[in-house]
Structure 1
Amino acid sequence: MPDAAPASRSRLRLRVSPAAEAHVRAGHPWVYESSLRAQNREGSAGELAVIYDRRDRFLAIGLFDPDSPLRVRVLHQGTPVTLDDAWWGERLDTALLRRAPLFGPDTDGYRVVNGESDGFPGLVVDRYGTALVVKLYTAAWFPHLPRMQALLAERFGDFSVVLRLSRNIQDRARQEGLFDGQLLAGHVGNGTVVFHETGLAFEAEVVRGQKTGFFLDQRENRRRVEKHARGRRVLNAFSFSGGFSLYAARGGAAYVVSLDISAHALASAERNYALNSRLAAPHETVQADVFDWLAGTDREFDLVVLDPPSLARREAERAGAVRAYGKLAADGISRLARGGILMSASCSAHVSAEEFWDAVRDAATRSGRVWRELSTSQHAPDHHASFPEAQYLKAIFVQFD
């Protein structure tokens, strides 16, 4: 059975709607507040809640969060289990074994735990060299953080550990003595660490940077860009810290332009370029709004990379985002020389892969140019998505005559 509740407090027991029961039984990891039909008492953040089916049989157990509309994040469903240290350790080891064949000695930056898809709903762990970044998306993890730290310490020795927190839980975290960017173990100097990805060196701003310090999820698309870059004039729009730029340079680009509205991001791109002295392609940085710059420039490129931040942070923004992706693709296509390649990506979870790909395909058709689709892609293997809501990343490569 699940862990025993304290003698002074009964186990938190829940019942859910028939639809939610079916979803949980099928392996979906979320139960929303609107799906709850019965609850034996109030619960606290991080408490283990047991969900029973309509016949009063064990259905699942998960982390309870009374302040979130996503009320339970399911840890286990099926037959009862004891969620002890051995159970947690085995789950973490499964995630580590999944990554073991993916990376060689030239890569020490990757996702170690990918939230729900690795059985740790609401928690991710990224590795950057000898630093780990633990990011929490729910206050339900606060009581379990010491256990997670201990499990990681057993497997990663004296690695530094940084805590990052989703913006919506930072106020609650302060009540627990936790804060975003908190150092849980070791040290990280000025807040940045250097790691390697397929032999290229990058800095990650693990204490205050976006996400956990770097966009690890685009590694496979960066490798694809590298293969297309030889001899090409490359524009990396929404360049952030220059990930695609460095790969294009290593792939033999004639020159690379990193375009971003953030001076801070461009300075990071320049530092990353300097970390890799073997890169010979000239590298130019341009600070500007990408939409305005593409619409106003007359410069021509042979490879254009479009990797914007999310354009739809909520479902109500989906239709507008689809139009924006189409407009962005059209502007990128207009800057391509004959034989040029467009790589366009989206990280908007509310826009499906097919919707996004079709927006780019439609822009290609409306350009009046002859084009062919080279490839499409979605999640990297260390960012695998085990349920529909976890699917956010997609990209498409298109070549124009």
Structure 2
Amino acid sequence: MPDAPAPRSRLRLRVSPAAEAHVRAGHPWVYESSLRAQNRGGDPGELAVIYDRRDRFLAIGLYDPDSPLRVRVLHQGTPATLDDAWWAARLDAALELRAPLFGPDTDGYRLVNGESDGWPGLVIDRYARTLVVKLYTAAWFPHLPRVLALLADRFPAFAVVLRLSRNIQQRAADGGLYDGRVLAGNVGNGTVVFHETGLAFEAEVVRGQKTGFFLDQRENRRRVEKYARGRRVLNAFSFSGGFSLYAARGGASEVISLDLSAHALASAEQNYALNPKLTAPHETVQADVFAWLAHTDREFDLVILDPPSLARRESERAGAIRAYGKLAADGIGRLARGGMLVSASCSAHVSAEEFWDAVRDAADRSGRTWRELHTTRHAPDHHASFPEAEYLKAIYVQLD
């Protein structure tokens, strides 16, 4: 009988002084370009220990040899054993953070928000009795059974759906995983009805965008509801109608959902139908938002602009800032006197101040008297613990 292979030594890494300082300060990413030495090659998902220049423990994280983001840090500071108890405590900390946030009228929210909850490259969203686990790195593949066991202990009889970022889907297929795979329970036709502050929505958990719904705009939707009474509301880039339903419940006189996608508008109509107590007239318009705003003569009292990201990479930042300004200007042009513009951005490459200033400049250039009511950032279940995680921002402006 051949001898069993000797156990491999721990994967040990050293990084540049700058990366060392960033990790020590709590930053969760180590890039390939920051590596200065490692004792051997590593496998996806292997735990890599980073040592500082004095050969002291600095951090431990998930290693991904196929990604320029080479290590996603799980723990830094003093040495720790990442055993079952450690993983359980890490998950429970994220769940305890959400416990006081939502009442019985809300069963759709983010349970784990990636790096900001200490789970780098992994998010978990809840939709009623379905959990959606989305992975952004193949480094989580070997740890998926542990994650599922932890969830089964805390959410017995819940369905679990796996979603995968596009860049790892081929590697997932090699291990029998695929985007939209139902890992536990049953989700029927792939849609799940959940509730957000008492409103019913459908989440397309198997094939929908992100994890099936845009949960991150909940707080802005709630704020829009408070301003909607008696107003003619335009919800541009409406997707499945989140802002539209809140405006209707807030007493809007009419609501227009505007989107280029026929599928999105059908979802908006379906969500409206799920809430028979909503009585405001609801119209859907399929059109390119930029072109429609530039040419329509319709007038509104509340215009909501919530486009998809206009800067998916740093090179698109300047163009995106100009586009946000143009969009805000066209939205303002459709506002009646006393009307309100709510403009949002999910472009991580555009800073909050850059975005807000683009909207403020559009308000200045309109020649109308205006005042800024609010600026907002991330919802509490989508908190951002480091700069690269910050993406969401919105501004509320009222014009004469």
- Asked if TM exceeds 0.5, the reply is yes
Amino acid at match of 2:110: R
Q: Which moved more, 1:6-15 or 1:28-37?
A: 6-15
- Number of the residue aligned with 1:273: 272
- Number of the residue aligned with 1:190: 189
- Number of the residue aligned with 1:243: 242
| SS, match of residue 302 in structure 1 | strand
The 2-side partners of 1:78 and 1:302 are apart by 53
Deviation at 1:7, TM superposition (A): 4.8
| SS, match of residue 110 in structure 1 | strand
Q: Does 1:156 align with 2:171?
A: no
| SS, match of residue 396 in structure 1 | strand
- Number of the residue aligned with 2:125: 126
Q: Does 1:169 align with 2:163?
A: no
Amino acid at match of 2:235: N
Amino acid at match of 1:240: F
- Number of the residue aligned with 1:366: 365
- Number of the residue aligned with 1:3: none
State the TM-score, normalizing by the size of structure 2. 0.99
The 1-side partners of 2:40 and 2:81 are apart by 22
- Number of the residue aligned with 1:332: 331
Residues 1-400 of structure 1 mapped to structure 2, 5 A cutoff: 7-400=6-399
Deviation string, structure 1 residues 325-382 (Cα, Å, up to 9, x no partner): 0000000000000000000000000000000000000000000000000000000000
Amino acid at match of 2:315: A
State the TM-score, normalizing by the size of structure 1. 0.98
Deviation at 1:219, TM superposition (A): 0.1
Deviation at 1:8, TM superposition (A): 1.9
Unaligned runs of 5+ in 1: 1-5
The 2-side partners of 1:68 and 1:317 are apart by 22
Tell me how large the CA RMSD over aligned residues is.
0.6
Deviation string, structure 1 residues 79-116 (Cα, Å, up to 9, x no partner): 11110110000000000000000000000000000000
The 1-side partners of 2:361 and 2:168 are apart by 40
The 1-side partners of 2:52 and 2:106 are apart by 45
Percent pairwise identity = 86
Amino acid at match of 1:13: R
Unaligned runs of 5+ in 2: none
Amino acid at match of 1:312: A
Amino acid at match of 1:357: W
Deviation at 1:240, TM superposition (A): 0.2
Deviation string, structure 1 residues 134-158 (Cα, Å, up to 9, x no partner): 0000000000000000000100111
| SS, match of residue 73 in structure 1 | strand
Deviation at 1:72, TM superposition (A): 0.1
The 2-side partners of 1:8 and 1:134 are apart by 32
Amino acid at match of 2:226: K
Amino acid at match of 1:191: G
